[in-house]
Amino acid sequence: MYDFHIHSDYSMDCKYLMEEMVIEAINNNMKSICFTDHMDYDVTENGIDIDFRTNDYFKKVKQVKYKYLKNIEILAGVEIGMQPHLSERYDDIIDSNPFDFVIMSVHSINRKDIHLDRFTCDKSPIDALTEYYEYLYQCVNSFNNFDVVGHIDYIDRYFDESTTLPNFDEYSHIVEDILKLIIEKGKGIEVNTAGIKYGLEYYHPKLEILKLYKELGGEIITIGSDAHSPEFIGYEYKGAEKLLRELGFKYIYLFKERKKFPIHIG
């Protein structure tokens, strides 16, 4: 098993040491894990940067990597919170550090955090979805220095429970454009199993999006739990792998030194 989306105390929303996460990953029989701590630049109205000291980070990864070398492979990635005006800043930090893997996620829209600033609360669901996906399209379009797009339908988590979400057909054309662009750029997507943890009935992205990605010829896909605590490492991993197999995916991918490696899931 290969969990390619894990946080540690280098993320401000996770309090667990890398070593605690690693020990649990070994207990769960993970073969490889990749830390993908948060870098979210220019968020909130005050333009705060959420990031970590990369020197420290790589030093720490190296320590656990060699300590547990016989038990597990440990890789060092990052999850960037993209907004189109940040392309150059992210290019700089990514190019000057030896990351194995880069997840590009959208957590904020024009500095408004989707979760904390309640992005969805003052608009109709279809308007919120349209605005979110148009923004995601711009992000994918304006940046190349990433490997996969994180939790594509992340916004689904942040509607009130009473809200009925529009049918996927109503906004699938924008999602299709995003997926085509990802494929054209030779990038991938992830199956992020945390959807279930956040009360949805599906992983990110939902079945319709995974099917569409496959139909459009998408192949590059990673599996990640988005664990912020040890018990979620490898969460629903087998379920995600099974789903991908049923949808006709033959491989999942690992990334090392930004190069992709297919793993047959038969």
- Give the binding site for Zn ion (CB under 5 A): 79, 105, 226
| Least gap, CB of 102 to Zn ion (angstroms) | 12
Distance in angstroms (rounded) separating the CA atoms of residues 125 and 118? 12
Closer Cβ to Zn ion, 32 or 193, answer by number: 193
Q: Kindly state the smallest distance separating residue 99's Cβ from Zn ion, in Å.
A: 15
**How far apart are the C-alpha atoms of 187 and 172, rounded to whole Å?**
20
> What residue has token string 């000291």?
53
CA angle 186, 112, 107 (to 5 degrees): 35
What's the closest the beta carbon of residue 215 comes to Zn ion, in angstroms?
26
Minimum Å gap between C-beta 79 and Zn ion is 5
Nearer to Zn ion among residue 71 and residue 159 (C-beta) = 159
Closest distance between Zn ion and the C-beta of residue 237, in Å?
A: 16
Q: Which is nearer to Zn ion, 71 or 93 (CB)?
A: 93
Please identify, using beta-carbon distances, which residue of 24 and 79 lies nearer to Zn ion: 79
Instruction: Output b/e per residue, 42-77; b: 16+ Cβ within 10 A.
Output: bbeeeeeebbbebeebeebbeebbeebeeebebbbb
Separation between Cα atoms, residue 161 and residue 73, nearest integer Å:
39
Rounded Cα–Cα distance for residues 99 and 7 (Å): 15
For Zn ion, which is the closer residue by CB, 10 or 253? 10
